[in-house]
Structure 1
Amino acid sequence: MKDNYFYKKPLSNIYKKPNAFSEVTSQILYGEKFKIISKNKNWIKIKVSFDNYTGYIKNKYYTKDHQPTHKIFTLKANIYNKQKNKTKNFLPFASRISMIDENKKFIEFEKNKWIKKKDIKKINHIEKDYLKVLKMFLKIKYLWGGKTYRGIDCSAILQLFFYYNNKFYPRDTKDQIKYSAKKNKSKVFKKGDIIFWKGHVAVCINAQKLIHAYGPEKKVLIMNIKETINRIERTAKLTVKKISPIKY
């Protein structure tokens, strides 16, 4: 099936198999584009257009008709009703929305659903400060397959920076390692270095500290680079596989 579709709920798990008890491999965000590979009554197998990621989502909450004009530039943006009262619902960072109406403080993106203008940027906005994006997720819980304020994994926090900027970057660490250029050998780390292990990735915020979604600590946090390398080698028997400069 060749048509493009767009997801129209705040987020959904992407499953390895068409079964809610199957492994969650990633998530799809509001306004994210995909193609349908196959479908049945309850499930569709999709290929996400941004990174060619495949998996299964429930066969509902999507549309062909979506022309995004803005995107969310906050960790989570409150959705308001037509009276401009807060609801209990949010759109996660990097969601792509289409403006259908506006007033001084809000834009309407679906009938009777409004978002504050301070929480959005125009669709072509580029954010070069990757630390601004990564630090949004500080203290967010670690969640395998997650990519939002509800939980995030180590490769998603890096990929989201590129996704927001409309620039391709793979979803999984094993593919990110292959895709990223190798840095000249140096034992001195600097801001913007990406450190890869088998199954894990972190980004240096300066010569001493890194930020990552770290399973053993169950959250996104900043840690000392050398202490982290030693801890991962000691506890998981993994050594650094590659160091790459962040390129955007």
Structure 2
Amino acid sequence: MNDPRLIPANMRVALAGFAAQGQAEVVPTPVSVSKPVADLRIAPNGARTRQLVMGEMFDVIERDQGWAFGRAARDGYVGYIAEGDLGFAFEATHFISARASHLYPKDDFKSEARASLPFGARLRVIDERRKFVETDTGQFIPKAHVRLIDRPFSDPVTVAQLFFGTPYLWGGNSSFGIDCSGLVQAGLLACQMPCPGDSDQQMALGADANGGYKRGDVVFWQGHVALCVDDETLIHANAHHMAVAYEPIGKAIARIEAQGDGCVTAHRRI
């Protein structure tokens, strides 16, 4: 494994099996993201590479000067997260299944919301009311916005369509802002289908597709990826629309080539 995005080691420490001379081998400490969205960075105060949402697991390899270096449990992506964005590990029972929701101090939608949560945020529910569920932190979420962890979606495209209109954000992984590979990953992970974080890694998904486009197919360009809604339309987070948008497949292929980003590099069926 030579991909630096997946090597759980820095200059000082490494997980067992990855240590080189001068690096200490460590046992990771599992934690959970405690903020609605946490940036995963290439270095402390460095550029954002990906994001994790509330409740997602992160294996901490090192803590240093307010930063935690570690590995995302969902896909093995490594990087640095601000320590203030992390909390104790917990076993989630539910996840946000709407595009977004809110945390309330009581089971009353007229009460002032304390935080907004994106799709996929994970929670531990301890009680159910008529229209709300109560979390282990004593806060409430509309029952219509959550789904049991063991009740995943079955269609990645349906999940991607929930993100329609979400602003484009380079390195984004939430319904507050997302990029092309983040959208594909959100769709597949919500269906409990493994998926790496970046489009070049995602090209290994499924098998080469033949015989036209079908719903759920994944189409790749150099540095870009989209999901087919049907044989004529795709959905993708893109910088042309600066949002998650629908686009005719033929028009997207022509536009992307015309703007200098090349032709389709792969067409995969999952």
**TM-score of the pair, normalised by structure 2:** 0.85
Query: Take 1:198 and 1:105, find their aligned partners in 2: how far apart are those partners?
Result: 46
1:189, CA displacement in angstroms? 1.9
Q: Which amino acid in structure 1 is aligned with residue 90 of structure 2?
A: H
Query: Take 2:130 and 2:90, find their aligned partners in 1: how far apart are those partners?
Result: 24
Q: Match of 2:52?
A: 28
Contact 1:194 1:201 in 2 (8 A): yes
- Asked if 1:55 corresponds to 2:82, the answer is no
Q: Percent same amino acid at aligned positions?
A: 31
What residue ranges of structure 2 are gaps of 5+ in the alignment?
1-26
1:145, CA displacement in angstroms? 0.8
Q: Match of 1:112?
A: 138
Corresponding residue SS for 2:120: coil
Query: Take 1:227 and 1:25, find their aligned partners in 2: how far apart are those partners?
Result: 29
Contact 1:70 1:122 in 2 (8 A): yes
What residue ranges of structure 1 are gaps of 5+ in the alignment?
none
- Asked if 1:219 corresponds to 2:243, the answer is yes
Instruction: Write the deviation string for residues 175-230 of structure 1: whole angstroms up to 9, x where unpaired.
Output: 0013342123x4x2222221111110011111111110111221111111111101
Q: Match of 2:262?
A: 238
Q: Match of 2:67?
A: 43
- Asked if 1:89 corresponds to 2:115, the answer is yes
**TM-score of the pair, normalised by structure 1:** 0.92
Q: Match of 2:181?
A: 155
Instruction: Write the deviation string for residues 70-126 of structure 1: whole angstroms up to 9, x where unpaired.
Output: 111001011111363141521111111101233222112143311111101111112
Query: Take 2:148 and 2:160, find their aligned partners in 1: how far apart are those partners?
Result: 20
- The equivalent position to 1:80 in structure 2, one of 68, 93, 104, is 104
Q: Which amino acid in structure 2 is aligned with residue 2 of structure 1?
A: P
Query: Take 1:243 and 1:198, find their aligned partners in 2: how far apart are those partners?
Result: 12
- The equivalent position to 2:162 in structure 1, one of 136, 142, 149, is 136
Corresponding residue SS for 1:36: strand
Runs of 4+ in 1 over 4 A off after TM superposition: none
Q: Which amino acid in structure 1 is aligned with residue 60 of structure 2?
A: I
Query: Take 1:155 and 1:115, find their aligned partners in 2: how far apart are those partners?
Result: 28
What's the RMSD between the two structures over aligned residues? 1.6
Query: Take 2:191 and 2:155, find their aligned partners in 1: how far apart are those partners?
Result: 11
Structure 1 residues 83 and 240, CA, compared in 2 at 3 Å: closer, same or farther?
closer
Contact 2:173 2:186 in 1 (8 A): yes
Structure 1 residues 83 and 176, CA, compared in 2 at 3 Å: closer, same or farther?
closer
Structure 1 residues 242 and 41, CA, compared in 2 at 3 Å: closer, same or farther?
same
Q: Match of 2:148?
A: 122
- The equivalent position to 1:202 in structure 2, one of 220, 223, 226, is 226
1:134, CA displacement in angstroms? 0.9
Query: Take 1:132 and 1:69, find their aligned partners in 2: how far apart are those partners?
Result: 22
Query: Take 1:175 and 1:140, find their aligned partners in 2: how far apart are those partners?
Result: 23
Contact 2:31 2:58 in 1 (8 A): yes
Contact 1:74 1:120 in 2 (8 A): yes
